[in-house]
Amino acid sequence: MDLKIKPIKNNVFFIGSKDCNRKLFDQLVPLPQGTTYNSYLVKGSEKTAIVDTDYPKKLEEYKKRLQENSITKVDYIISNHAEQDHSGGIPMLLEMFPEAKVVTNAKVKENVINMLHVNEDKFIVINDGDELSLGDKTFQFIIAPFVHWPDTMFSYLKEDKMLFTCDFLGAHYTKHELFADCSEGLKEAAKRYYAEIIMPFRNFAKKYTDKVKSMDIDMILPSHGPVYDKPQWILDLYADWTSDRVENKVVIPYVSMYESTTMLVNRLSKKLSNAGIEVKLFDLVHCDEGELSMELVDCATVVLGSSMVLAGPHPAAVTAAYLVNALRPKLRYYSIIGSYGWGGNLEGTIEKMFTIIKPEKLDYVIVKGQPRTADFEKIDLLANEIIEKHKNL
Residue 326's closest CA among 198, 169, 192?
198
Taking CB under 6 A as the binding criterion, the range among 9-17, 79-87, 232-240, 382-390 that sits at the site for ligand FEO is 79-87
Of residues 174 and 269, the one with the C-beta less far from ligand FEO = 174
Cβ partners under 8 Å of residue 21, min gap 6: 34
Q: Which of 137, 224, 267, 271 binds ligand FEO (CB under 6 A)?
A: 224
Q: Is 338 exposed, middle or buried (0-12, 13-18, 19+ CB in 10 A)?
A: buried
* Strand partners of residue 24: 30
Of residues 102 and 317, the one with the C-beta less far from ligand FEO = 102
Of residues 85 and 160, the one with the C-beta less far from ligand FEO = 85
What angle (nearest 5°) sits at the alpha carbon of residue 148, between those of residues 192 and 254?
40
List, as one string, the DSSP characters of 40-103.
EEEE-SS-EEEES---GGGHHHHHHHHHHTT-----EEE-S--SHHHHTTHHHHHHH-TT-EEE
Neighbours of 275 (CB within 10 A): 16
Closest separation between CB of residue 173 and ligand FEO, Å? 13
Q: Which of 19, 54, 61, 85 binds ligand FEO (CB under 6 A)?
A: 85
Of residues 201 and 333, the one with the C-beta less far from ligand FEO = 201
Closest separation between CB of residue 391 and ligand FEO, Å? 40
Distance CA 50, CA 53 (A): 7
**What is the contact mask toward ligand FEO in residues 339 to 378, using x (rule: CB under 6 A)?**
----------------------------------------
Contacts (CB under 6 A) with ligand FEO, residues 91-120: none
Q: Which of 151, 160, 167, 196 binds ligand FEO (CB under 6 A)?
A: 167
Of residues 18 and 224, the one with the C-beta less far from ligand FEO = 224
Neighbours of 115 (CB within 10 A): 14
Binding to ligand FEO by residue 86, rule CB under 6 A?
yes
Position of minimal CB gap to ligand FEO: 83
What angle (nearest 5°) sits at the alpha carbon of residue 13, between those of residues 97 and 215?
110
Of residues 148 and 390, the one with the C-beta less far from ligand FEO = 148
Closest separation between CB of residue 281 and ligand FEO, Å? 31
Binding to ligand FEO by residue 267, rule CB under 6 A?
no
Phi, psi of 342 (to 5 degrees): -125, -15
Distance CA 38, CA 85 (A): 9
Residue 172's closest CA among 146, 198, 154?
198
Binding to ligand FEO by residue 289, rule CB under 6 A?
no
Of residues 108 and 272, the one with the C-beta less far from ligand FEO = 108
Binding to ligand FEO by residue 192, rule CB under 6 A?
no
Neighbours of 372 (CB within 10 A): 10
Binding to ligand FEO by residue 191, rule CB under 6 A?
no
Of residues 167 and 289, the one with the C-beta less far from ligand FEO = 167
* Residue 362 DSSP symbol: P
Distance CA 272, CA 279 (A): 7
Residues touching ligand FEO, count (CB under 6 A)? 8
Binding to ligand FEO by residue 83, rule CB under 6 A?
yes
Taking CB under 6 A as the binding criterion, the range among 82-90, 234-242, 275-283, 367-375 that sits at the site for ligand FEO is 82-90
Closest separation between CB of residue 7 and ligand FEO, Å? 24
Length of the chain: 393
Taking CB under 6 A as the binding criterion, the range among 78-86, 138-146, 198-206, 225-233 that sits at the site for ligand FEO is 78-86
Of residues 221 and 265, the one with the C-beta less far from ligand FEO = 221
Q: Which of 53, 155, 223, 242 binds ligand FEO (CB under 6 A)?
A: 223
Of residues 241 and 364, the one with the C-beta less far from ligand FEO = 241
Assign residue 70 a region (left: φ > 0; alpha: ψ between -120 and 50; beta: otherwise): left
Binding to ligand FEO by residue 81, rule CB under 6 A?
yes
What angle (nearest 5°) sits at the alpha carbon of residue 76, between those of residues 72 and 81?
125
Phi, psi of 56 (to 5 degrees): -50, -40
List residues near ligand FEO by CB under 6 A: 81, 83, 85-86, 148, 167, 223-224
